[in-house]
Amino acid sequence: MPGDDVSKILVSEDDIKVRVLELAEEISENYKNESFVLVGVLKGAFIFLSDLVKSIKSRCSIDFIVTSSYGLTGTSFSGKVKLLKDISQPIKGKNVIVVDDILDTGSTLNFVLEHLSSYEPKSLEICTLLSKPDRRRINIDAKYVGFTIPDEFVVGYGLGYNEEYRNLPYVGVLKEEIWKVRA
């Protein structure tokens, strides 16, 4: 079972549900008179984005972008971010919120922000489920943050390791022997 590979639960399923509702309310209030585009960073943000958008009360559309920044084992930043799939709708003059699973080093989100900025959106913000400020290499802040967490290897609620563990309903710390053995 995937949960057997988790040493501890860092953010419970119930805490995630409450915080996602709070973030949706905050976004809805901030954009109550304007529409916006939610751009999910795949694959990690898909569950978070799905739950978030169901609770947003404002007019919005959804798009996706796919990047790659980790090596084959998925345990460390490769040093280069690649665009694998771009957004499919025009965002010029629109409010855009990039939705991601985790703000870690900042490299991926910095790349995404720079890329999307080239399309000249009206505004560009970040909404992330998790933030690991201790790992930040690039000074980047998210307007909407679910949880600030310590520098631990986390999985669940969309976050994966070797494409597994995304289906866990909580965010947990993956046992070191799992990712070190496979790394």
Report the candidate in 97, 60, 74 with the shortest Cα–Cα distance to residue 179. 74
The DSSP bridge pattern shows strands 36-42 and 95-103 to be parallel
- The CA-CA-CA angle for residues 93, 98, 102, to 5°, reads 165
What is the per-residue DSSP string for 40-54?
Answer: EEETTTHHHHHHHHH
- What would the two tokens of residue 20 be? 């996602």
Q: Where are the beta strands (DSSP E) in 12-106?
A: 36-42, 60-70, 77-85, 95-103
Is 104 an annotated catalytic residue?
A: yes
C-alpha 9: how far from its chain's center? 18
Q: Residue 116 region, left (φ>0) first, then alpha (ψ -120 to 50), else beta?
A: alpha
* Catalytic choice (51, 104, 134, 151): 104
The whole-angstrom separation of Cα 10 and Cα 125 is: 26
Q: Which residues are catalytic?
A: 104
